[in-house]
Chain A
Amino acid sequence: MSPILLAEQILNGLQSGVMLFLMAAGLTLIFGVMGLINLAHGSLYMVGAFAAAAVAGATGSFLLALIAALAAAAAAGAMVELLVIRRLYARDHLDQVLATFALILIFSEGTRWLFGSFPLYLDIPPWLAGTVMLPGGIEYAAYRLALIGAGLAVAAGLWWMNARTRLGIQIRAGENDREMIAALGVDISKLYTLVFAIGAALAGLAGALVGPIQSVQIGMGEPVLILAFVVIVIGGIGSVRGALVGGLLVGLTDTLGRLLLPELFKLVTDASGAATIGSAFASMAIYILMAGVLIWKPTGLFGARA
């Protein structure tokens, strides 16, 4: 195995890690402020991807597609919050899980009804096609590099929002003390809708950005949602920093596991056996990582409350 291959895989791990971060950040923000566990977050990811694919197909513009993804996911999020989600804040987690599971069914079948069962394709924009040469002779896909950049930019933006804006102060107040925030004169139901829409927009952005490297199809959101849950369990519920660290850990573990575990098993068994056993165990690597964190720190790396 060459160092260049390893470096490429590390970059791939970072790329999937920052995309997981976009999902996990929204989920963890919504949980932190409203105490809501939202299974339909994956549906918002799907909404973003479908909106992007439809607009890119109609206009040919990737930037317009991204804007459409953000707008569609935020609008779908705000609408769902107003109609359904706000009735769930005072409910227990079981009701939240079931109602948002119902939303998954409605979103998935609704999308199938609108777009049909076949996957859509979203092209990499021409100005990000091809590869770039990185220091050390690593040739890497420009689009994937852009994804890493976009994810880190969003992380920085979230940090700035949290630390420097009025909204950030309100969100932090909401996480710590729900009565205090009402006492500050904040319209709490507007804040909740806004936070939910921001989370939804992040999910929609992730779906649109990943669209060109995976196919855009019904049910694309839920596997990512579950991975985002793994990220949150590792990083600690309610912590955006935990979502970033957890996302990168999961992304790197998954990618490097797929690369290294088959190699590792070659030491003890023949090549074809090693490939199958290795890939079977690689599919479990992130869950084993999660189990390890649970044993070591049950509330996650940056989490305080259960």
Chain B
Amino acid sequence: MNREWLLNAALLAGLVVVPGWAVWADEPFTIMLATRAVIFALAAAGLNIALGLGGLVSLGHAVFFGIGGYAMGVLASHAQNYTPLYDGVFTIQGTKSMPVIWLAAAVTSGLAAWLIGVLSLRTSGAYFIMITLAFGQMAYFFAISWPAYGGEDGLSIYVRNGFPGLNTLDPIQFYGLCLAWLCLVLWGYARLRRSPFGLALDSARQVPDRVRAVGLDPRRLQLVALVLSGAVTGLAGALFADLNRFVSPSMLSWQMSGEIIVFVIIGGVARLFGPVAGAVFYVMMEHWLGGISDYWQIFLGLVLLAVVLFGRGGLIGMICGKGRPDA
């Protein structure tokens, strides 16, 4: 097996060993950091579907992250206040069950991705970037000005939601759930890029005219990629809100969109484990540099600038050699 495969295996092993050590050493904070990294990696793995495979530079993925977060917040807050979410022709109750919340998060953020995609895929290139950024800002301002779910202050949940058979209040068990999701999505990503859809999508990125000439619509392929991408990032948003037991408009901010794209790029765009490497690196920088200096984001900016200008292919690309991985 090649170097990238070894590196991926090492990253995965690290995600198992380090939190395992933290349990043994009774370091719950390390487990929390690892959970944060895994959830960011999941959000970025979602973006990698649109960006890495589809070539869609979405600068609005915080919308899906935030919608996932609010799906959790809204359902759980209704459940903890014993008020129905909707009480009309039929009744929808809130819930504290993670599987239901996950489903709601993925479906609503997937729908949002569909809506944004239908509009923004009418254009391409620089327009697409600006439009996704703009719709992100729209969601942000809407969340701030809509008072029902906390507005600017956000929404808190008293107790983390539950999963059948697990104690989600135990940090390592919740971490296990997040890691399981990450592994499942990475497995799906690996399958996706070798699938018929993956081939068509990759071609739509490189040669859209050809894709049309063989009878496929590149825009529809890209739209489906964006929906899948948004749903995965939305799922990550639900987990992130559950980790913090809190959701606020900041999950929808343009900075969040920027960070998700930074995870992908620092790690290595279109690489299977690029989002993982990027998210782990980011959380480590945030923790260590943030402890040294309040202005640690200057260093983050410099690192990002260096990666973009000189080290194309991200961390994984620098270690394993250039070029896109063969699909």
Footprint of B on A, CB under 8 Å?
Answer: 31, 37, 84, 87, 93-95, 97-99, 101-106, 108-110, 112-113, 222-223, 226, 229-230, 232-233, 237, 276, 279-280, 282-284, 287, 290-291, 294-295, 298-299, 306
Contacts and interface: CB of A to CB of B under 8 A. Distances in A.
Interface of B: 51, 57, 59, 119-120, 122-127, 129-131, 133-135, 137-138, 141-142, 144-147, 254, 258, 261-262, 265, 269, 294-298, 300-302, 304-305, 307-309
The 9 closest A-B pairs by CB, nearest first: A105-B301, A287-B138, A229-B130, A102-B304, A106-B301, A283-B141, A102-B305, A102-B301, A298-B122
B134 A229 contact: yes
Given A98-B265, A105-B298, A226-B254, A93 B125 contact: yes
B295 A84 contact: no
Nearest to B141: A283
B126 A101 contact: no
Given A97-B57, A109-B297, A306 B305 contact: no
Contact of B254 (A31, A222, A280): A222
A96 to B, nearest CB: 9
A276 B147 contact: yes
Query: Is the contact region of chain B dominated by helix, strand, or loop, or is it mixed?
Result: helix
Contact of B295 (A104, A112, A232): A112
A101 B254 CA distance: 11
Contacts of B262: 98, 101
A108 B258 CA distance: 14
A287 B135 contact: yes
Contact of A101 (B137, B141, B302, B304): B304
Contacts of B298: 105-106, 109-110, 113
A282 B127 CA distance: 24
Given A108-B297, A226-B137, A103 B305 contact: yes
A280 B146 contact: yes
Given A31-B126, A98-B304, A284 B265 contact: no
Contact of B137 (A102, A104, A233, A287): A287
A87 B309 contact: yes
Q: Could you say which of A105, A109, A232, A299 has the most chain B C-beta atoms within 10 Å of its C-beta?
A: A105
Contact of A294 (B59, B131, B296, B304): B131
Given A102-B302, A113-B295, A97 B123 contact: no
Nearest to B309: A87
A229 B120 CA distance: 13
A186 B138 CA distance: 42
B57 A295 contact: no
A223 B307 CA distance: 26
A93 B126 contact: yes
10 contacts: A37-B129, A93-B57, A97-B57, A98-B307, A101-B262, A105-B304, A233-B134, A237-B127, A276-B147, A295-B122
Contacts of A295: 119, 122
Given A283-B141, A284-B141, A230 B309 contact: no
Contacts of A233: 127, 130-131, 134
B55 to A, nearest CB: 8
B142 A97 contact: no
A93 B269 CA distance: 14
Contacts of B307: 98
Contacts of B120: 294
Contacts of B301: 102-106, 109
Contacts of B305: 84, 99, 102-103, 106
Contacts of A95: 308
Contacts of B146: 276, 280
Nearest to B126: A37
A284 B143 CA distance: 10
Contacts of B308: 95, 98-99, 102
Given A233-B134, A290-B131, A298-B122, A283 B295 contact: no
B142 A284 contact: yes
B202 to A, nearest CB: 16
Nearest to B132: A229
